[in-house]
Every structure is written in structure tokens, then in C-alpha cells.
Amino acid sequence: MQRNERFNKADKIIRTGFLVNAALMLIKLAAGYWGQSDAVFADGIESASDFIAICSTMLALRWGRQPFDEQHPYGHGRAESLAALLISLVICSTGIWILADSVMSVINQDFKSPGWLAISATVVTIVIKNLLYSYSKAVGEQLESPSLLAIAQDHRKDALTSVATLVGVSGAYMGWNVMDPLAAGLTSVFILYVGWSTFRSAVHDLMDGSVKGEYIREITALAEGVKYVDHVHQIRARRSGQYIIIDLKLEMNPEMTVKQSHDVAKEVKRLIFEQFSNVGDVMIHINPHNEDHKDMIRL
């Protein structure tokens, strides 16, 4: 997949989420206010926080698509992980606010009597958010984009919390008014869990955490399948936005010329780029096979 095609797909996901969230935010705020439901109104406030997440993702994608330059020789892909980190903080802050508000409502016995408008808005939210989650997750996994996967998790969080909201609002509608703030509190727990998961994933990438072991094994098998490569001495892979940066140390016959070794390394790199569209760069070091050598590293 070409570079521009990757980012155009991501842009489409973000624009769709932006417009849908705008509509849902207005619907839930209105339904929560006129439908007399703290849980639905809190859900609307949560949708408002999504604007910050989506706007930051739009900026990150615009920044992250810039090619490498002298100041950023590894590109600008980390902007997506920074956006995912911001999204996680927004999600967690929203969860804490909703939890505190629901606790105060229970303590003060400040209960409302939701109407059918609040229930209808919640049902609509569940359906739409599940569709958005499936769409965003599919494209996010295809592009291996941290920010798109964070947005997908945000949609999933909305769908899950709206289910809890529906239970609470329905119970309050039937006369158990305390269920409305309790539903808002349960919603906050879902929100905090998703926020923590997104935070942990973003920090992992920003700290140069390794990619999945299966991915490493596939690259290793490919490299060792190239003629004249005796063994992969070491492989490291880290994420930079939608791309993976790979460091490879290959063992070859020490009698090979520099030109021969270079040609083999070039073939390894070509095959990796050909079979793994999300690889952004591959650095290859050659070691002589069957000779003792100790890696020099200070990390």
C-alpha cells in the first residue's frame, strides 16, 4: 500500500468519526437535558471530550505523514503515539469527572426521572458506535495505526458505556431512580479501563517497546531464507506511528567480499519491504559466521 493511500484511508476514518460524534454529542446532550437523565447527559459530555481526541488525531496524522528530515531522521510517526497518549488522558479525565458526579448524586439523593427521549438516544448511540468501532478497528489494524486503533477503542468504549447507560435509564424510567446515577458511575468504570489500556499501549510505543513476537519470528524466517544468510544473530523492531523500524544483524561467510555481503543484505531488505507494507526502514549489520563476537552496547 502506497504512503498517500495509507494516510488517505486514515483521514477518511477520522472525518467520519468527527461528523458522527458531533451529531451524537448534540443528540445526547439534548436528550439528557430534556429527557431528565444524568447518565445520558454525562454520555453527551463524554462525546464532547471525543472532539479533543479526534482533533488531536487529525493533527497527528497530518504531522506524522511528513517524510524524515535532518531534525527527525526516523520520520514523524511518533506523533501518532503522542496523540494516542493525549486521547488516553482525555478519556481518563472524563471518566473521573463522571464518576465524581454520579457519587455526589447518590450522596445528595439528587435523582431524576428519565423519559423515553433519553432511552431512544441511548439505543441510537449503541448501534452507531458499534458500527464505527468495527469500521475503525478494521482499517486501524490494516494500517497498524496507533492513533486509529485508539479512536476505535474510544468508539468501543462509547458503545459499552451506552449499554450500561441504557440499563440505568430504563430502570429509572420504570421507577428505580437511583439506577440513573449508578449507570453513570458504571459508565465511568468502563471509560477509565479503556483510557488506561490506551495509555499503556501509547507509552509502550513511545518507550521503544518491541513489537509482537510473531512479527519478529516472521521477519527472522524471511531473512534466514535468503541465500548466503547463515543466521540472524539479532533482530529488534520498534514502532514509529504506522510503520515499523527494524534492526537486523546477519551472520554470513567471513570470506565473502564487502560487495557480496552488501548485495545479500540489499536482497533481505528488498524482500522485507515487499512482504511487509508497514515496514518503514531496515538497518542491517553483517557479522562473520562461526566467529566469536560480542556486541558493544551501553543500553
**What's the whole-model pTM score?**
0.65
Q: Can you identify the CATH homologous superfamily of domain 213-288?
A: Cation efflux protein, cytoplasmic domain (3.30.70.1350)
Q: What's the pLDDT score for residue 104?
A: 83
The separation between CA 189 and the C-alpha centre of its own chain, rounded to angstroms, equals: 19
Q: What's the pLDDT score for residue 106?
A: 79
Q: What's the pLDDT score for residue 1?
A: 52
Which residue spans of the chain are classified as CATH 1.20.1510.10?
A: 3-206
Q: Tell me which DSSP letter residue 189 carries.
A: H
Q: Which residue has the cell 511518533?
A: 78
Question: Is the model more confident about 26 or about 295?
Answer: 26
Q: Could you report the per-residue pLDDT of 123-145, keeping only the tens digit for each? A: 888 888 888 888 888 888 777 77
Q: What's the pLDDT score for residue 270?
A: 94
Residue 6 pLDDT class (50, 70, 90 cuts)? low
Run of H or E including 108: none
Q: What's the pLDDT score for residue 138?
A: 85
Which residue spans of the chain are classified as CATH 3.30.70.1350?
A: 213-288
Q: Which residue has the cell 493525549?
A: 86
Of residues 14, 74, 125, the one with CA closest to residue 243: 74
Residue 122 pLDDT class (50, 70, 90 cuts)? confident
Q: Nearest-5° angle of CA 197, CA 243, CA 140?
A: 50
Run of H or E including 168: helix 146-173
Residue 241 pLDDT class (50, 70, 90 cuts)? confident
Task: Check pLDDT > 60 for residue 281.
Answer: yes
Phi-psi region of 240 (alpha: psi -120 to 50; beta: other; left: phi over 0): beta
Assigned C-alpha cell, 59: 493533527
Average pLDDT, stretch 246-258?
91
CATH class (in words) of the domain with range 3-206: mainly alpha
Q: Could you report the per-residue pLDDT of 189-215, keeping only the tens digit for each? A: 877 887 888 888 888 888 878 887 788
End-to-end CA distance of the chain: 35
Beta strands in 88-209 (DSSP E): none
Range of 31-40, 137-146, 232-241 with top mean pLDDT:
232-241
Q: What's the pLDDT score for residue 57?
A: 66
